[in-house]
Amino acid sequence: SLFRLKDLELAKLGDSDVHVKMLAAPINPADINMIQGTYPILSPLPAVGGNEGVGEVLEVGRCVAALKPGDWVIPASTGLGTWRTQGVFPEETLLKVPSDIPVLSAATLSVNPCTAYRMLTDFQSLAPGDSVIQNAANSGVGQAVIQIAKAFGIKTINVVRDRPDLPKLVERLMALGADHVITEEMLRKPEMKDLFKSIPKPRLALNCVGGKSTTEMLRHLQPKGTMVTYGGMAKQPVMVPVSAFIFRDVRLRGFWMTQWKKDHAQDQESLAGMMDALCQLIRRGQLTAPACTKVPLQDYKAALEASMKPFTSSKQILLL
């Protein structure tokens, strides 16, 4: 195992530092990839795992103006190391979030909902009544896409892998606001024509699988539609029929939240605007945390194992 639970000395609080008591931190696939070394960011080892979570400010250095004790904070960028009970962090590595939203919503805010929000707004100007198709629709990002799209009046076609408890999953995604939930196999069936009698073909496809799934989704994209790839769970390349490029002029783009945050590091307004919009949705009950299993920190081994199982539909959240 690459993981150990360790007791460390807290760093001294510098003038621009913030002492934070962590409240909750999820285990995301990217956290595991980072530790396995298959992610484009490597923290110098030994490192603390976890890129996401929420904490409460206990104390601030004398030059810190924007934060005060009692405030809730989340990481401003990747690599903070959130799987810890307390930490001392430079002020610029933290973002203030309202403390009147549920703790699990705050703990899972900085990666998946942000990714969903950016992909829905940055690639196609979608209007109410337009539709979006996505695979791995039950992932954290997928669940956020369903809810944010619903709030924007955009229809979602949600592709999931066939599984033993499929009806239960369909019911859960419909309850979140999904318009259609279909399996990968259905994507290839002629019945898809019937589906598009009631809703327009999508102008945007969101792909985090790759391989066959992606090629099948592309077939249903409108001319000049865009497919955004943000993950590759099948570990297979994206294959595009030449005809889709020539006769339908589809656009293929990629998205990585870490890069977006780097590109907008100087642009505090767009970050604040997005966080504000997401917190409003959370307050209105239009965006909920994904299904979560709360795990005390000392049971971290079980939590890590559970998070790597296939067909998991519950996110493991370390309570700190």
Return the CA Rg of the chain. Answer: 20
Is 183 within 8 Å of 161 (Cβ atoms)?
yes
Task: Characterize the bridge pairing of strands 94-97 and 315-319.
Answer: unpaired
Long-range contacts of 160-163 (CB under 8 A, 24+ apart): 160/135, 160/136, 160/184, 161/311, 163/311
Q: How many CB atoms lie within 10 A of CB 77?
A: 17
* Cα 167–chain centre separation: 24
Residue listed under structure tokens 């408890």? 165
Distance, CA of 39 to CA of 47 (rounded, Å): 15
The yes-or-no answer on residue 230 being catalytic is: no
Q: Which two tokens stand for residue 241?
A: 């029929």
Name the active-site residue from 39, 117, 230, 300.
Answer: 39
Please list the active-site residues. Answer: 39
